[in-house]
Amino acid sequence: MMITRRQTFLLGAAALAATALGQAVTPALAANNLDEMAKKFTGGTAPVEGKVKLDLPEIAENGNTVPITVSVESPMTDSDYVSEVIVLADGNPNAGVATFHFTPASGVAEANTRIRLAGTQNIVAIAKTKDGKFYTAKKQVKVTIGGCGG
């Protein structure tokens, strides 16, 4: 069987495409960007400890589904309310875990979800108020089985 020039070209193009696709699918191993994300969120302002409460288990048996509740003390009125909360993890490949948006109509500044953790690490929540103040809380979670490829 003879292979034509056109078939050779198509096989080569297919091989190149498969190689490029394989590289695009492979996740990049980058350093955690927690500090960068926190500075971007706060505009460089140092958040104050307090008003934010993180409810997470001290030990998570499985990092794939770790329950989290983040709440912020706020009257949630038109003149004084929490507008955003960002949740960051210092041990995941990408620190950004969740962002929650609130309005006075929310009633309370509280959100529940499940997050994925690569291993034992600190979880940081930063809350932004309508008037540009920032509050934070931090809690360590020990993970026995990693969720982000571990």
Calpha distance 36→71 (Å, rounded):
23
Give the pLDDT confidence score for residue 8 in this predicted structure.
Answer: 75
Calpha distance 40→57 (Å, rounded):
28
Residue type, 93: P
Give the pLDDT confidence score for residue 11 in this predicted structure.
Answer: 74
Sign of torsion over alpha carbons 114, 41, 72, 130: negative
Give the pLDDT confidence score for residue 26 in this predicted structure.
Answer: 43
One pLDDT digit (tens) per residue for the chain, 150 residues: 677 877 777 777 777 766 666 654 444 455 689 999 999 999 999 999 999 999 999 999 999 999 999 999 999 999 999 999 999 999 999 999 999 999 999 999 999 999 999 899 999 999 999 999 999 999 999 998 766 655
Going from the N-terminus, what domains does the chain have, and what CATH number goes with each? 34-143 (2.60.40.2470)
Structure letter (DSSP) for residue 7: H
pTM for the full model?
0.77
What is the pairing mode between strands 109-115 and 66-72? antiparallel
Calpha distance 21→52 (Å, rounded):
43
